[in-house]
DNA sequence: ATCGTTCTCGCAATCGATTGTGAGCCTCGT
DNA sequence: ACGAGGCTCACAATCGATTGCGAGAACGAT
C-alpha cells in the first residue's frame, strides 16, 4: 500500500506489518520506468566491484522498498524518515552487509572524515603513545587518522602536509610543530583546520603538557634534595617541549636564589645518543654538577650511560631526572625519576578538538598538568647538604 | 569567477605551435548541446569547496583549452595525447595548483590507493620501525598507508580490519598475525589482497626475518661461550616470531647434544615487564641457568632487571641476549647482545609487494637474514668452560 | 591527387551517496 | 465532512574524475 516504486523482492519472511505495496512490481522494467532515452554514444564498461562487497545504497533501498534518498537519510540521522521505515532500511542494510562508500560520500559532501597527523617519528614512544590517543579519539568521533613521519625536517613536514591535504583530510594535527618554522600558521591562514599536540606555538590551538610546570616540579624536587649545581639536557631548541621544561626548571632555581649556570644547559636530540653526548659534556664541567635534568626520558637514559662511563652510579653519585615517564623508565635497573604527562589523553583530546573545529564547533587550547614520579635515580646529594625527606 | 568553462582566457603568451582546432570554442552553448530538458524539480545547492583549493579538472581543461578527458589523460600517463597538448595541460595544472580529488578518482576507478596496516601497537618500537618502512614503500608506489593498533586482541583485529576495509583500502598489511586465529586466511579467501609483515602464517605471503636462523645464531654464540644450561624467554605463543626464534635456538642446542631443559622455556609478553617476570622465574630454577635468551630486546631488558634484583651482574654472572637490536640496546649501561633484523626494509618491501598484489602483479614471500650483534651482555661463562674467542 | 593509417581529442556516461524541493497521504480540528 | 497542517518519501541533480568509442585531422603511400 505504500510506495509502489519498484518490485524488488524483499524476501524477508516477515509475517504481518502489512506493507504489501498495492501495484506490485509489475515484474518488468528493471530501471526507473519512463526515461527520455538520451543519446547513447559512449559505452563505458563498469569499473569493478564497488567496494567491500558490491552492495550499494541503491541495493539497500530496493530491498527495503524505498528510494535511495530515503535510505540515505534513514542510515544517517534518520531525520525526515518514519521510524518504521528507518528501521526497515537499517535491517536491509544489515542483512545485505551494506557499507557506505566513503569516496562517494566524500565526493558529494566535500568532507572525508579523515584526520591527517604529522609526527617527528613514530619510533619515538612518546609520539607513538600520543598517536594511540589520537587514533582512539578520532575513531570515537567517526573519523580515521592518517599519520606520516616527518623526522622533524621542515621540508618533509611541508611535503607530508601537502600530501595529506591532497588526500583531502578534513583537518591536520601537528605533533611536530617547530618554533623556527611557519608551516602551522600558514596552514591556519589557508583556512585548514589545524591543532597542535605535544608542542606549542603561539596563535595556534594546542594540546600540551604544562611543560613549564613539569620543569618546575623537577627543580623543586632537586632543590629539596640539596642540589645546587645542576645541569640540563635541554633538547632541541625548536621544540617548545624542551624549551619550556628547561625554562620552568631554571626559573624555579632562579627563584630559589640558585641560578643555573648557563654553561650547564646544553641542547641535544631527544634520543639516547643525544642524551649520552650531552651527559659527557656536562660531566666534564669544572665543578661537576651533582644532578642532571634531561627533558626527555631517553635522553636521561643516555645521561645515565655517560655517568656510568665516568665511573658514577646514577642515583648515588649523580641524580638524574627525565621527562614523560615512559613505561621503560620505571623498569630500568636504576628506576628513573621522571615527570608523567598524560600523553595518550593529550592525543585523544586533541583529536576530539580538531573534529570540533572541522565541524564548526571551534576549540580552545588546553594544557594538561604533569606529575612528578620520584624514583631511585634521584637520591639526596650526599656531599653538600642534609638530605630532605620526600614522600615517595 | 570560478571555473570559466568555455573560452577562459588561457593567458599564456605562447605564440605558434598551431593547434588551432577548426571549430574553435564557438564561445556559445554552455552545456552539452542538444538536451532533452528533463524535469527540473530539485534545486540542490552546491556542497562546498571541492577540496584543497577548489580547482577541478574542468578548470584545468578549460585553462588549457582542451576537454576534461584530454586533460585527465594528459595528467595521467599521457597516452593518446599529443606531447605538446600534454605539456600545456600539465603547465595549466601546475599554475592553477590543481590537485586530483582522490574521492572522485576512487569513486570512478574503484581503487583508493590506500593501504591498510594493522599492528599490535605502535608504541612497540619494533613495529613502529616496520611501519616507517611501510609508509616509505607505500609512498614510493604512490599509495598512502593507514595504520590501526589492535593490541594483539583478536576482536580488535577483526574490527579494525573491517573498518579499514570500509574505508576501501586496496589491500591490507598485517603486522599482528596470530597463529591461533583465522582472520588472515579469511581475508585472503574473501579476495582481499593481504600480506603479512614481521610475523608469518602458513599460506599467506609474508615478509619476515628468518627467525629460526636468528635463534640459531644466538644458540651458536652461547654454545661457543660454553653455556650449557640456558633459559629462553619465548614471547607469546601465538606469534611466529617468538615461536620460531625459540625453535631455531633449541634446535641448535639439541643438535649440539645439549638439549634445552623444557622447564627453562617460558612464555611472556614482549615488553619489559613480561621479560622481568619470566626472568625471575628462570633465575629461581634449581641449577640456575648461566644464560638467558629473550626473543625480544625489551624482554631482555626486563631479564637484566630481574638479574640485578637477584644480585647478578648481566654480562658477568649471567649472559643475556635479545632480539631485534633496537637502538636502545647498544646504548644500555651494559650493552645488549642482540640479533639485528632489517625491520625498516621488511616494512618497505612488504608495502611494495602488497602494491604489486593490488595491481595484479602478485608477490612471493620473503625472509630477511638477520645478523648477530655481540655485546657486553654475553660474556664467557666463567664457571664451566674455557671461553671461546668470537670475532666481534 | 586520392585513399588509407595513425594520432589526437571530444562526447557523454558513469561511479555511489547526498540533499533541496515539492508532491502525496494521514491526522486532527472544527 | 472538509480543509489545514505535518510527516514521509520520491525526484533528479550534482560532486569530480575516468574511459570506451568514434569523429576529424594530419600525413604518407601509391
DSSP A317-331: TBEEE-SB--HHHHH
Mean pLDDT, residues B301-317: 93
Q: Cβ within 7 Å of strand D: which of B 62-121?
A: 68-69, 72-73, 75-76, 80, 98, 100-101, 104-105, 107-109
Across A147-161, A176-190, B49-63, B363-377, least confident range = B49-63
- Tell me the pLDDT tens digit for each residue of B164-203: 999 999 999 999 999 999 999 999 999 999 999 999 999 9
Q: Is A245 within 7 A of strand C by CB distance?
A: no
Total count of residues recorded for chain A:
392
The Å distance, CA of A104 to C1' of C1, is: 56
Tell me: do A198 and A236 sit in the same domain. no
Cβ atoms of residues A218 and A260 within 8 Å: no
Is residue A248 scored above 50 in pLDDT?
Answer: yes
Domain harbouring B278, CATH code? 3.40.50.2300
Has residue A300 been placed in a domain?
Answer: yes
Tell me: do A272 and A287 sit in the same domain. yes
Q: For B35, which residue in chain A has the nearest alpha carbon?
A: A38
pLDDT value of residue B191: 92
Q: Which residue of A109, A110, A128 is in closest CB contact with B122?
A: A128
pLDDT value of residue A20: 33
Has residue A246 been placed in a domain?
Answer: yes
Tell me: do A127 and A173 sit in the same domain. yes
The Å distance, CA of B47 to C1' of D10, is: 21
Mean pLDDT, residues A65-75: 89
Has residue A21 been placed in a domain?
Answer: no
Is residue B290 scored above 60 in pLDDT?
Answer: yes
Mean pLDDT, residues B226-231: 96
Only one residue has cell 583530546, namely A349
Tell me: do A169 and A134 sit in the same domain. yes
Q: Nearest 5°: phi and psi at A350?
A: -65, -45
Return the number of other C-beta atoms located less than 10 Å from residue A295's C-beta.
33
Mean pLDDT, residues A21-36: 32
pLDDT value of residue B380: 66
Which of A42, A100, A123 is the mutation pick for testing B, counting most B CBs within 10 A? A123
Q: How far apart are CA B133 and CA A361, in angstroms?
A: 37
A327, B271: Cβ pair inside 8 Å?
Answer: yes
Q: Across all residues in chain B, what is the average pLDDT?
A: 85
Nearest protein residue, CA measured to C1' of D25: B21
A135, B125: Cβ pair inside 8 Å?
Answer: no
Q: How far apart are CA B238 and CA B244, in angstroms?
A: 11
Is residue A161 scored above 90 in pLDDT?
Answer: yes
Only one residue has cell 576537454, namely B67
Has residue A33 been placed in a domain?
Answer: no
Say how far residue A105 (Cα) sits from the centre of its chain.
25
Q: Which residue of A107, A109, A298 is in closest CB contact with B107?
A: A107
- Tell me the pLDDT tens digit for each residue of B259-289: 999 999 999 999 999 999 999 999 999 899 9
Q: Across the strands, what pairs with A77?
A: none
Say how far residue B194 (Cα) sits from the centre of its chain.
12
Residues 6+ apart with CB under 8 A from B351: B115, B133, B134, B135, B136, B137, B138, B141, B143, B145, B173
Q: Which of B391, B390, B392 is nearest to B226 (CA)?
A: B390
Is residue B309 scored above 60 in pLDDT?
Answer: yes
| Domain hosting residue B292, numbered range | 211-337
Could you give the C-alpha distances from A43 to A40, A47, B71, in angstroms and in order?
A: 8, 12, 20
In angstroms, what separates the C-alpha of A16 from chain B's closest C-alpha?
34
Q: How far apart are CA A225 and CA B49, in angstroms?
A: 60
Is residue B385 scored above 80 in pLDDT?
Answer: no
Q: For A306, which residue in chain B has the nearest alpha carbon?
A: B333
pLDDT value of residue B19: 36
Q: How far apart are CA A282 and CA B33, in angstroms?
A: 79
Q: Please state, for a pLDDT cut of 90, what percent of chain B lies above it.
A: 71
Q: How far apart are CA A251 and CA A258, in angstroms?
A: 10
Nearest nucleotide by C1' from A49 CA? Answer: C15
Q: Is A167 within 7 A of strand D by CB distance?
A: no
The Å distance, CA of B142 to C1' of D25, is: 36
Query: Which is it for the CA torsion A353, A357, A362, A366, positive or negative?
Result: positive
Which of A53, A128, A139, A193 is the mutation pick for testing B, counting most B CBs within 10 A? A128
B102, A166: Cβ pair inside 8 Å?
Answer: yes
Give me Rg for the CA atoms of chain B. 30
Could you give the C-alpha distances from B240 to B177, B198, B236, in angstroms and in order?
A: 8, 9, 9
Query: Which residues in A lie closer than 8 A to residue B33 (C-beta atoms)?
Result: none
pLDDT value of residue A39: 35
Mean pLDDT, residues B206-220: 98
Has residue A378 been placed in a domain?
Answer: no
Q: Which residue has the higher pLDDT, B169 or A45?
A: B169
Is residue A48 scored above 50 in pLDDT?
Answer: no
- Tell me the pLDDT tens digit for each residue of A326-336: 998 988 888 99
pLDDT value of residue B7: 32
Return the number of CB contacts < 8 Å for A and B: 134
Is residue A385 scored above 60 in pLDDT?
Answer: no
Tell me: do A332 and A216 sit in the same domain. yes
A41 — pLDDT class (breaks 50, 70, 90): very low
Last residue within a domain, chosen from A100, A128, A157: A100
The Å distance, CA of B73 to C1' of D26, is: 21
Across A153-162, A285-294, B38-47, least confident range = B38-47
Residues 6+ apart with CB under 8 A from A126: A198, A296, A324, A326, A343
The three grid cell numbers given for residue B60, joined into one nine-digit string: 584545468
B272, A168: Cβ pair inside 8 Å?
Answer: no
State the distance between the two ends of chain A, measured CA to CA, in whole angstroms: 75
pLDDT value of residue B381: 46
DSSP B201-246: -TTS-EEEE-HHHHHHHHHHHHHHTT--SEEEE---TT-HHHHHHH
Question: 3-state DSSP call for residue B88?
Answer: helix
pLDDT value of residue A149: 97
Mean pLDDT, residues B230-236: 97
Which of A132, A136, A168 is the mutation pick for testing B, counting most B CBs within 10 A? A168
User: Residue B16: how many CA atoms within 13 Å on its side-chain side?
Assistant: 1
Tell me: do A196 and A248 sit in the same domain. no
DSSP B104-146: HHHHHHS---EEEEEES-TTSHHHHHHHHHHHHHHHHTT-EEE
Cβ atoms of residues A103 and B98 within 8 Å: no
Is residue B43 scored above 80 in pLDDT?
Answer: no
Query: Which residues in A lie closer than 8 A to residue B128 (C-beta atoms)?
Result: 121-123, 125, 128
Last residue within a domain, chosen from B77, B100, B123: B100
Is residue A179 scored above 70 in pLDDT?
Answer: yes
pLDDT value of residue A52: 58
A380 — pLDDT class (breaks 50, 70, 90): low
Strands B338-340, B371-373: pairing kind: antiparallel
Is residue A40 scored above 80 in pLDDT?
Answer: no
- Tell me the pLDDT tens digit for each residue of A138-147: 999 999 999 9
Tell me: do B333 and B236 sit in the same domain. yes
Tell me: do B231 and B300 sit in the same domain. yes
A298, B328: Cβ pair inside 8 Å?
Answer: yes
pLDDT value of residue A4: 35
Nearest nucleotide by C1' from B101 CA? Answer: D16
Mean pLDDT, residues B44-48: 35
Tell me: do B306 and B217 sit in the same domain. yes
Question: 3-state DSSP call for residue B194?
Answer: strand
Only one residue has cell 512490481, namely A25
CA angle A154, A171, A149 (to 5 degrees): 35
Q: Is A65 within 7 A of strand D by CB distance?
A: yes
The three grid cell numbers given for residue B69, joined into one nine-digit string: 578527458
Q: Please state, for a pLDDT cut of 70, what percent of chain A lies above it.
A: 83
Q: Which residue of A125, A139, A333 is in closest CB contact with B123?
A: A125
Domain count, chain B: 3
Mean pLDDT, residues B113-131: 97
Mean pLDDT, residues A106-128: 95
In angstroms, what separates the C-alpha of B202 from chain A's closest C-alpha?
25
Q: Is A166 within 7 A of strand D by CB distance?
A: no
The three grid cell numbers given for residue B151, joined into one nine-digit string: 593490541
Nearest protein residue, CA measured to C1' of C7: B80
Has residue B178 been placed in a domain?
Answer: yes
Tell me: do A77 and A131 sit in the same domain. no
Last residue within a domain, chosen from B292, B320, B337: B337
Tell me: do A198 and A228 sit in the same domain. no
Tell me: do A280 and A328 sit in the same domain. yes
Has residue B304 been placed in a domain?
Answer: yes
Across A23-37, B335-349, B360-374, least confident range = A23-37
Q: How far apart are CA B228 and CA B225, in angstroms?
A: 9
Only one residue has cell 625471575, namely B280
Query: Which residues in B lie closer than 8 A to residue A331 (C-beta atoms)?
Result: 272-273, 276, 301-302, 305
Has residue A258 been placed in a domain?
Answer: yes
Q: Which residue of A52, A131, A327 is in closest CB contact with B165?
A: A52
Q: Please state, for a pLDDT cut of 70, what percent of chain B lies above it.
A: 83
Amino acid at each position: 500500500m505504500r510506495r509502489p516504486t519498484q518490485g524488488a523482492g524483499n524476501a524477508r519472511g516477515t509475517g504481518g506489518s502489512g506493507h504489501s505495496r498495492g501495484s506490485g512490481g509489475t515484474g518488468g522494467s528493471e530501471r526507473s520506468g519512463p526515461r527520455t532515452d538520451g543519446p547513447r554514444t559512449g559505452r563505458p564498461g563498469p569499473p569493478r566491484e564497488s567496494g567491500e562487497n558490491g552492495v550499494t545504497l541503491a541495493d539497500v533501498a530496493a530491498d527495503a522498498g524505498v528510494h535511495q534518498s530515503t535510505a540515505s537519510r534513514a542510515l544517517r540521522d534518520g531525520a525526515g524518515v518514519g521510524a518504521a521505515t528507518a528501521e526497515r532500511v537499517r535491517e536491509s542494510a544489515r542483512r545485505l552487509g551494506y557499507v557506505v562508500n566513503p569516496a562517494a560520500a566524500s565526493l558529494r559532501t566535500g568532507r572525508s572524515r579523515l584526520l591527517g597527523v604529522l609526527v617527528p617519528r613514530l619510533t619515538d614512544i612518546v609520539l607513538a603513545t600520543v598517536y594511540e590517543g589520537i587514533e582512539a579519539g578520532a575513531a570515537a568521533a567517526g573519523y580515521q587518522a592518517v599519520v606520516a613521519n616527518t623526522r622533524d625536517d621542515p621540508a618533509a613536514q611541508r611535503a607530508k602536509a601537502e600530501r595529506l591535504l591532497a588526500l583531502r583530510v578534513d583537518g591536520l594535527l601537528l605533533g611536530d610543530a617547530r618554533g623556527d618554522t611557519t608551516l602551522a600558521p600558514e596552514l591556519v591562514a589557508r583556512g585548514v583546520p589545524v591543532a597542535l599536540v605535544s608542542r606549542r606555538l603561539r596563535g595556534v590551538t594546542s594540546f600540551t603538557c604544562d611543560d613549564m610546570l613539569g620543569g618546575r616540579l623537577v627543580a623543586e624536587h632537586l632543590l629539596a634534595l640539596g642540589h645546587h649545581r645542576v645541569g640540563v639536557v635541554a633538547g632541541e631548541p625548536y621544540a617548545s617541549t624542551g624549551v619550556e621544561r628547561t625554562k620552568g626548571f631554571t626559573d624555579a632555581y632562579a627563584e630559589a636564589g640558585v641560578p643555573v649556570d648557563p654553561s650547564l644547559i646544553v641542547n641535544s636530540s631527544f634520543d639516547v645518543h643525544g642524551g649520552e653526548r650531552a651527559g659527557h659534556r656536562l660531566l666534564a664541567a669544572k665543578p661537576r654538577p651533582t644532578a642532571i635534568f634531561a627533558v626527555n626520558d631517553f635522553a636521561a637514559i643516555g645521561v645515565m650511560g655517560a655517568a656510568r662511563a665516568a665511573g658514577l652510579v646514577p642515583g648515588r653519585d649523580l641524580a638524574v631526572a627525565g621527562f614523560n615517564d615512559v613505561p621503560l623508565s620505571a623498569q630500568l635497573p636504576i628506576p628513573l625519576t621522571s615527570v608523567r604527562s598524560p600523553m595518550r589523553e593529550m592525543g585523544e583530546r586533541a583529536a576530539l578538538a580538531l573534529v570540533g573545529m572541522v565541524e564548526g564547533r571551534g576549540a580552545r587550547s588546553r594544557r594538561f598538568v604533569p606529575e612528578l614520579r620520584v624514583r631511585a635515580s634521584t637520591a639526596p646529594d650526599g656531599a653538600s647538604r642534609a638530605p630532605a625527606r620526600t614522600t615517595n
